[in-house]
Structure 1
């Protein structure tokens, strides 16, 4: 049976972060790699807006240090440019809201980074800060971390196959991860639910053209894999859904086989009465 890891938010590194309670945002539990210089910081600190290939590996010493030090953008700038009156904005950061973590449950051989062992963490997208902050940024990347060795890879994608994405879910189905939903940047939101699929063998991402009774532009939802190998999505009626008017609360099933949406009634059955869908 396929396996899944439904997740609307990251419960990994972010939940371990401890910060000061004053206006000082410095995270103090771990430090930067001492080999990272201010020159390295200035070379790699700004997130890339576009990349040429699907996927494009963008791993560099600064990104890796940010991932494992658990520092945020503000503290990175103050660490590497302590006496500077100006600094670049935004700064690449792994301290994010609305990113997902999926753990690999069986070894997977990839064409890019070798074998992903059981327990490998796949972290997808997310945002840092909010729109009013100069370090605000929504990411369209995939970060691979092998906990036992700390081996780390960061891949970024062309926006037409994987737009900047946050507050989605990530569901593991065999050797693919289905990335469903997105808040995204204002002005870039659609009327249909965003569905992308990450091929773990190639690490390529694809935008999925869907059909059926679409739930609209969803985010902050729950997702799980049912016994039939399809993804059940539960959508609450929240403020974001009401404000944007493109989201339909309720329960829906996404068919992995034919990329088709179908709404469920309150008992979890298909509305056309052709059978039930497990949760």
Structure 2
């Protein structure tokens, strides 16, 4: 029997691809070299807010070309020399629809940190029901570069909570909160008190039923330079009247981070890709395995299992997150290029916890042909 949800997702994906092709069919604006140079690069505003829309950026908002693609179309200079090009094709950007039909887009980042077009934006862009675009910039002192935040609509404002941001702008223990006025689009920092989640991003935020507070759940917490980020496992409430944070839960869960002793990038993704390649690649397709020793697929089969009787972990809908059950407790493992995080939803008996950790480290060392350790131990 056909999976209706899968069919719906497939239809939505096809519709988005068609819409994207229509967007990108719009020809580039006719700009002089001076005009292109003037507006090619990102910028901040001087006032709160500053209108900074222009034909180039408006075209990029409508088409969503990446910085690289737009720069190629317009024959611009290399970002290695000229710096990143402005783009509206962003990750971690919030979109909030207002009662008057405007859609408010806040912040977001383009590309990853190692790309020459990488940039985190501090703009607010509105698109009304007729497609009219207004782009607003702000001084960094008023609204810093913001991405992977939440945007919660109130009667006359949008409350922006959290941020990943540039490493040098993060503040340990602080949860950034801003208020965006929906009429003027001016932004003001909200000073809060109480026990906050800390520097959080990729979380969810829901307005309480009585609209008196915003409840924050999930997401990832930055713990300071040199330490890996961890999942936020608790719930938090921000009272909108008093601006006081309250911690709603304090889950007593076991969690730890495993990583290479030399802190270099691991090769878990490479092993998984090579396994897929051998099972699914067409004849003659080139393997991207770049290591001298062969991939240890037996170790991959044993990964995240305490022993041979343990169930095989299953990969959830989230990318690179694996779930299993040990001694009746749900356990999940999140793989990253530099570490693996483990979360036990409860507390394993101490001897079982130590056995699991020893087994994990041994298996990871087999897969990676390098020494691993538990961070902080």
- In the superposition, the TM-score normalised over structure 1's length comes to 0.75
Partner of 2:75: 81
Say how many residue pairs are matched: 233
In the TM superposition, what whole-angstrom CA distance separates every residue of 1:219-273 from its partner, at most 9, and x where no partner exists? 000011011211110024x586694569853101111111110011379xxxxxx
Within the candidate set 223, 228, 236, 1:252 is matched to 236
CA distance 1:222–1:245, change in 2 (3 Å): same
Partner of 2:193: 211
CA-based RMSD: 3.0
Q: Secondary structure at the match of 1:78?
A: helix
CA distance 1:84–1:160, change in 2 (3 Å): closer
Q: CA deviation at 1:55?
A: 0.6
Partner of 1:63: 57
Is 56-65 or 32-41 further displaced after alignment? 32-41
Is 1:235 aligned with 2:218? yes
| Contact 2:45–2:137 under 8 Å retained in 1 | yes
| Contact 1:27–1:75 under 8 Å retained in 2 | no
Q: CA deviation at 1:69?
A: 1.4
Within the candidate set 124, 129, 143, 2:111 is matched to 129
- In the superposition, the TM-score normalised over structure 2's length comes to 0.56
Partner of 1:150: 131
CA distance 1:265–1:189, change in 2 (3 Å): same
Structure 1 runs not aligned, ≥5 long: 1-14, 19-25, 106-116, 268-279
Q: Secondary structure at the match of 2:62?
A: helix
Q: Secondary structure at the match of 2:188?
A: strand
Structure 2 runs not aligned, ≥5 long: 1-14, 252-377
In the TM superposition, what whole-angstrom CA distance separates every residue of 1:169-209 from its partner, at most 9, and x where no partner exists? 00001010000000000111012101011011221100111
Partner of 1:47: 42
Counterparts of 1:208 and 1:183, CA distance in 2: 17
Counterparts of 1:52 and 1:83, CA distance in 2: 26
Counterparts of 2:209 and 2:78, CA distance in 1: 57
Which protein, 1 or 2, shows the higher relative CO under an 8 Å CA cutoff with sep ≥ 6? 1
In the TM superposition, what whole-angstrom CA distance separates every residue of 1:112-143 from its partner, at most 9, and x where no partner exists? xxxxx2x2100000000011111100000000
Within the candidate set 82, 86, 100, 2:94 is matched to 100
Counterparts of 2:79 and 2:144, CA distance in 1: 33
Structure index of larger Rg: 2
| Contact 1:77–1:87 under 8 Å retained in 2 | no
Counterparts of 1:60 and 1:74, CA distance in 2: 19
